[in-house]
Amino acid sequence: MTMLLKDVMFLDGSMDSARSGDILIEDGKISSVEKAGSLIGDDVVDGKGRMAVLPGFVNCHTHAAMSLLRGLGEERPLKEWLEEQIWPVEANLNPERIYWGTRSALMEMASSGTTCFGDMYFEMDKVAEAAKACGMRAGICRGIVGDDESKIEESLALADRYKDDPMVTVQMGPHAPYTVPLDAMKKIASSAKDNGMSVHLHYLEAEWELGYLKDEFGTGAMEYLEKTGLCDVSGLILAHCVWFPEDGLSDLSRVPATVVHNPGSNLKLGSGVAPVSSMLSKGVSVALGTDGAASNNRLDMWGELRTATLIHKGVLRDPSIVTAKEILDGATYKGYRALGFEKAGLIREGWKADLVLVDLDGPNYIGVNEDNLGVFLVYAGSSSDVAGTMVDGSWIYINGEFPGQDEEEVLSNARKARAELIRR
Which parts are annotated binding residues for Zn(2+)?
61, 63, 202, 291
Nearest-angstrom CA–CA distance, 190 and 206 = 26
Listed residue (213, 321, 206, 222) closest to 274, CA to CA: 206
Nearest-angstrom CA–CA distance, 191 and 349 = 36
CA angle 359, 380, 402 (to 5 degrees): 40
Residues at the annotated binding site for substrate? 90, 142, 175, 205, 291
Assign 3-class secondary structure to the chain.
CEEEEEEEEECCCCCCCCEEEEEEEECCEEEEEECCCCCCCCEEEECCCCEEEEECEEEEEECHHHHHHCCCCCCCCHHHHHHHHHHHHHCCCCHHHHHHHHHHHHHHHHCCCEEEEEEEECCHHHHHHHHHHHCCEEEEEEEECCCCHHHHHHHHHHHHHCCCCCCEEECEEECCCCCCCHHHHHHHHHHHHHCCCCEEEEECCCCHHHHHHHHHHCCCHHHHHHHHCHHHCCCEEEEECCCCCHHHHHHHHCCCEEEEECHHHHHHCCCCCCCHHHHHHCCCEEEECCCCCCCCCCCCHHHHHHHHHHHHHHHHCCCCCCCHHHHHHHHCHHHHHHCCCCCCCCCCCCCECCEEEEECCCHHHCCCCCCCHHHHHHHHCCHHHEEEEEECCEEEEECCECCCCCHHHHHHHHHHHHHHHHHC
Listed residue (374, 370, 302) closest to 18, CA to CA: 370
Name the strands in the sheet holding 199-203, side by side, starting at the edge strand that comes first in the sequence. 199-203, 236-240, 257-261, 285-288
CA dihedral 27, 31, 33, 37 (to 10 degrees): -70
Residues at the annotated binding site? 61, 63, 90, 142, 175, 202, 205, 291
Asked if residue 296 has a cis previous peptide bond (ω within 30° of 0), the answer is no
